[in-house]
Amino acid sequence: MGRAGVKVSPICLGNMNFGGSADEATSRSLMEKSVGAGINFFDTANVYQKTVSEQILGRWLKDGGPSRRDRLVLATKVYGKVGEDLNDRGLSRRHIVRACEDSLKRLQTDRIDLYQCHHWDHVRIEETIRAMDDLVRAGKVLYWGTSNFKAWHLTEATLLAERVLNAPVPVTEQCPYSLTNRHVENELAPFCMKYGVRMLPWSPLNGGRLSGLYRKGKPIENTPRNQSEGFRKTLEKNMDVIEALTKLAEEQGRTLPQLAYAFLYAQPHVASVIVGPRTMEHLDEAIKALDFKLDDATVKKINEIVPPGTSPDYVGW
C-alpha cells in the first residue's frame, strides 16, 4: 500500500452490502470465498448498514479465531453520523477516538489495520492528524488513509503530517474510479505517484453502468436503481460509450466487468480495487479478471473511447 510496508491483494472485498442486500449467510460465504481466492484485504465502514456491516464482519472474525484475523488487512472508516448527539460525526479528535473504540468492539479485534477518514471535514486537519497519530502510537490503528478527498485535501494532509507535525502520513485514498470515470487521473493520480499514496478505487463498475447489463436496443429492467432519473439520463446519454467498451471486451473473449477490473488492476497508482459484491457471481467476475492483462493495443482503444482524465457518465463530483 504505497509507503506502507504491508502488502494487499489486488482485490479488496468491500463489505458495504453486508447486512443489506447481502444477508449474513451470503456475507459469510463471500468472505470465505474471498479468503480461498487469496484476497487478504477487507474494507468496511462504521456507517455501512448502520453498523451492521462491521458487526457481521466481527462475528465472522471471532468464529475463525486469531489465525483468521491475523492473515487479513482490515480497513474501516470514520466520519459519518452514528448517533443523535451533535458530536457523533466528523473528524474531530473526540469523534475519531470514540468511533475507533466502537469499531474495535463491533469488529471484535484489538486493532484496525487501515483507518480511513471517510470524507473531508471542516475540522482543522491538524486535529485529525494528531488523533490518528495518537491511535497509531496506542497500537489501535496501524495505518491511516483517506476517502473521497480531493487532491488538495490529500496534499495538505500529507505535507502537514510529514513536514510539520512529524506524524504518520495517509497511505491510501479511496476514490471513485472506473473506465468511464477517470477524473482522478488529472491531479490525484500524479500526486499519489509522487508521494507514495496509493488509490483504492470504489465503484469500479461506475454504479453498475459497467455491469454488462446495459446494451443498445435492450430494454432497461425496472429496478430501483434504474428508476432513478439521474441514473437513466447518464446511462442513455453514454450508451454509445458503454456499447463500444462492451464490444472491445468481447473482442478479447471477456465480459465488460472483467475489462473494467483489468483496467484498474493495471494502474500503477492503484493498490487494490474495492469490489462490493452482493452475490458470488459478482465476486467471480472480479477474480476472473486477475489474469486479464491488457496489451498496448487494447489500452489504446480504451483511451480512444474514454480519454484519460475524462468522466463521460459520472455526475456529481
State whether residue 145 is helix, strand or coil.
strand
State whether residue 275 is helix, strand or coil.
strand
- CA-to-CA distance for 43 and 112, rounded, in angstroms? 11
Distance of CA 29 to the CA centre of its chain: 20
- The question of whether 48 is a catalytic residue gets the answer yes
* Residues facing 77 on adjacent strands: 116
DSSP state of 1: -
R_g of the chain, CA atoms, integer Å:
19
Burial class (CB in 10 A: 0-12, 13-18, 19+), 19: buried
To the nearest 10 degrees (0 to 180), the angle between helices 239-251 and 296-305 is 170
- CA-to-CA distance for 203 and 52, rounded, in angstroms? 21
Amino acid at 110: D
- Give the three cell numbers for residue 277: 459484491
- CA-to-CA distance for 17 and 66, rounded, in angstroms? 25
Which residue in the list 48, 79, 115, 261 is annotated as catalytic? Answer: 48
- CA-to-CA distance for 154 and 192, rounded, in angstroms? 9
Give the number of residues written for the chain: 317
- Residues carrying an active site annotation: 48
